[in-house]
Structure 1
């Protein structure tokens, strides 16, 4: 338990031989004393290194914060928000945990140019891959271009150097930060904020400088939200519905509830259009590889009995790999709402095949082979019903979606799992 719960937290899988399980206990097992501490405090940053980081950040022209696992416990969210507001820094939330409010004026996630324009200091908080949130990629040529200026100073606080994995794809290229601290951002962020506030109070003109860039970033944030809202209105009556329309229909239905989104958010349209304003309302980004339904069941089980509405925006291809998991929710009466993100395709691969075909001059009309999920169309509503769920669909017309969602939510409030199958166009995927 101590290893599992120590920062950075992770699962423990314990295996006992059958003989040990069957053996009778032949002696008393002494339990820890009641006052024993079961989980140690998180590692703190070196004080000298932290002072240096505060000096660098206070002297910066503009700062960007990149957060990945920085807000694992709920209070970590508050620390990231306070640090960003103290600095007037743009924030990119990588999303392995929900680190920052989606509609906060300093949030410039998904806006490479806005987030990193003029940035001369980048502060990373427990990130595993520094390239993905800072580089634009061309999937046809497998090349990436950094959006952070080459002479920027990088400050890293986290567990990158002590989290070893046998899976090489857990890592990007080596991360050469000029200042690095192996420390828990949950404990380090408030310490850094305190040091920065001391410097701001003593440095003439710094408070005004921070206020100015805060205003500039906030303006860019509002422009982004307005742009995304306008984009979501495009092709409004299209059938099958667009992905942004699906995101809006779900949001308009659940926004008055105490809701929790399990993992995926419709290729970032959830973060662009919804208001993620509480630390518990999103468990973190999707992982792919058929894992979303399992992760979602875990989130729903953890929230059982809280009165919260747990929502899974479930990709169809992902569910095809573990459809039997639906039975578990019905068997153990785990209330949750699944809204299918059904584009009748393994579209991540399909889109890649289209890009490659165009690059190579081959026929893109054949890109669907081995990638489509139609003829026959999987009946996810029928599948869910056979597993003991309330279900409706498929719906290609978004006008029919909201009434169905409301009916499904009433079932969830009675303690049942419910699934609504929404069929989407592929053009607005992500």
Structure 2
């Protein structure tokens, strides 16, 4: 063992290059395969390193980076222990891939030279090559073989992760490369090792925009349309696109349907007709689809039990699709969804296209139909909001607590607060009841539909807003939390305040609903569909579970009149004590 602090190891260079990326945090569940890198991150003799966020499971680590990226538009990292840790992380990596979110994944592997492997775990935890495990759902992976390769590998990973369409990337570091000293002659012969270039020398590619011909075609379509509709899914990956969409819709009185993978449009924007999707689309003569992953599903009525579809649009409707989705289509996972015929498939980044289109339209005179359409859409929007509010009022007498009522109570608590909703939407009732108008105020769904996402994404949002007065809210599904309950400990350990409100329907209801529909279709006993799908006998005591991990627990709450006092108490703890609180609310299944 050496105490010579002047010795420079391979992992020291790895840590320096990662620090050069201005990555603020690295979430990890500790593992021996990256012990060299771990040491360099906490004991580097010359550099300040990213803060380590300790997790109890690799899925949580990746979900934290996922949530942080959506909350900030910036990238953070997760460190993943060799083969076994990477297998734990796969669900969260797949979610990030489907959600088109940049995540830096740094892993370790046992020594590639067999003579350096210890018997047992070094063999069990070494793969050839490790990236094969996740190659179908990352943008790129690499396993650099020399210290000279490190800057190219790490900087390329960062550039590819953040270049649109964004996604996770994985770099695996050989244990021997981490732990071996860098020889002085090596330092002397390779200047890049002593003074490596910064990541600014390898900047991300500029996002592509529309050609003049494409812009002209869109202008022509909108000018001639009586009832154009914009449908948006992953558009608000940037704040610029969020604002540009709102401005375009306002200028030309275009109704917008927000599909919700991102928070694309303010819920109180008068052109927002989300929630009346099919009624709006049935009237459309022009549809502009922005960053739609599942355009076919959005424009079709689907009978899910017998798997039939019916088109919504008029046959004469013109459809223009704008996205970069084709650049990330892979053969392994069908996350790209079914094709839908379009007049044009435009490969452009909407944060570029929308301002260009708005500027082109700005010079054109408004057709007479625009102002009459504006009144129709504005009145429709107001009517929808009032209908939803009244429905929530009527449901106050129901037991268990209705999701609409829970959304209404939570909005009453938060309406005067500066908050971000990191996870959950109560089956759409949040968008119907809440007034949210800022980009990234709601971070959207997981992307791949994998359970375990919510608490990690909430931690990521807490890190994004640490030190601010913003209230981070997690509407946390019960089944989802049971996959990754250790995230509660991470919140407490790192003293991160979050308001966690359980959407506790005591069921894996997505599956239960499928079982109900199948039983009805087959004429079988619907009463037995709870077998294998409900979380009862015994019900989980989530408040006690939270307390056991250092998070304040309140509940279970089963009566409507008890919700408001419990939420007020929880919010006071979050604001005054700056710690996380979980409120367990027992709800209806939908």
Cα distance in 1 for partners of 2:331, 2:579 equals: 40
Spell out, residue by residue over 1:161-197, the C-alpha distance to the aligned partner (whole angstroms, 9 max, x if none). Answer: 1112355331221132111221110011000111112
SS of residue matched to 2:527: helix
Tell me the CA shift for residue 296 of structure 1.
Answer: 2.0
SS for the counterpart of 1:248 is: helix
Deviations 1:361-412 (A, max 9, x none): 0000100000011110000000010010011000001211111111111222
- Scaled by the length of structure 1, the TM-score of the pair is 0.94
Aligned residues: 422
Question: How big is the shift at 1:43?
Answer: 1.0
> What is residue 581 of structure 2 aligned with on the other side?
418
Match of 2:510 among 322, 339, 348: 348
Aligned residue for 2:408? 248
Q: Distance in 1 between matches of 2:418 and 2:467?
A: 13
CA distance in 1, matches of 2:524, 2:564: 42
- Deviates most, 312-321 or 140-149: 140-149
What corresponds to 1:285 in structure 2?
445
Unaligned 5+ runs, structure 1? none
Q: Deviations over 1:115-141 (max 9, x none)?
A: 213211110111111023222222221
Q: Quote the residue 2:79 is aligned against.
A: none
Which of the two has greater helix per residue? 2
1:41: Cα distance to partner? 2.2
Segments of structure 2 that go 5 or more residues without pairing to the other structure are 1-157, 188-192
The residue number in structure 1 matching 2:527 is 365
C-alpha contact (below 8 Å) 2:478/2:503 kept by paired residues: yes
- Select which of 370, 376, 380 maps to 1:220: 380
* Bigger Cα displacement from structure 2, 11-20 vs 224-233: 11-20
Counterpart of 2:327? Answer: 162
Determine the structure 2 residue equivalent to 1:72. Answer: 237
Deviations along 1:295-334, whole A, 9 cap, x unmatched? Answer: 2222222122221100000011111111122111111112
Is the Cα–Cα contact under 8 Å of residues 165 and 325 in structure 2 kept in the other structure? no
* Alpha-carbon distance between aligned partners in 1 of 2:471 and 2:357, rounded to the nearest angstrom: 36
| Structure 2: distance between partners of 1:147 and 1:307 | 45
Per the alignment, residue 428 of structure 2 pairs with 268
- Tell me, yes or no, if structure 1 residue 119 matches structure 2 residue 119: no
| 2-11 or 65-74, larger mean C-alpha shift | 2-11
User: Highest Rg: 1 or 2?
Assistant: 2
SS of equivalent residue, structure 1 residue 271: helix
For 2:408 and 2:181, the matched residues in 1 are separated by 58
Q: Does 1:324 align with 2:486?
A: yes
Tell me the SS of whatever aligns to 1:323. Answer: coil
SS at match of 1:52: helix
| 2:500 is the alignment partner of 1:338 | yes
Distance in 2 between the 1:73 and 1:177 partners? 25
1:58 aligns with 2:218: no
1:389-400 equivalences under 5 Å are 389-400=551-562
1:188 aligns with 2:336: no
d(CA) in 2 for partners of 1:411, 1:358: 46
**Alpha-carbon offset, residue 34 of structure 1:** 8.9
Match of 2:163 in 1: 6
- Bigger CA drift: 147-156 or 121-130? 147-156
User: Equivalents in 2 of 1:48, 1:30: separation in Å?
Assistant: 46
- Residue 173 of structure 2 is aligned with which of 8, 12, 16? 16
Q: Which residue of 2 aligns with 1:150?
A: 315
Q: Structure 1 residues 270, 347: closer, same or farther in 2, change over 3 A?
A: same
| Separation of aligned partners in 2, 1:31 and 1:73 | 31
C-alpha distance after superposition, 1:242-288 (max 9, x if no partner):
11111111110011110100122000000001011111211113453
Contact 1:61 1:118 in 2 (8 A): no
CA contact (8 A) 2:419 2:473 kept: yes
- Pick aligned residue for 2:473 from 311, 319, 323: 311
User: 1:145 aligns to what SS in structure 2?
Assistant: strand
| Counterpart check, 1:105 vs 2:270 | yes
Q: Which piece of structure 1 moves more, 175-184 or 26-35?
A: 26-35
Match of 1:301 among 449, 463, 485: 463
Instruction: Quickly say closer, same or farther: Cα 1:33–1:303, change in 2 above 3 A.
Output: closer
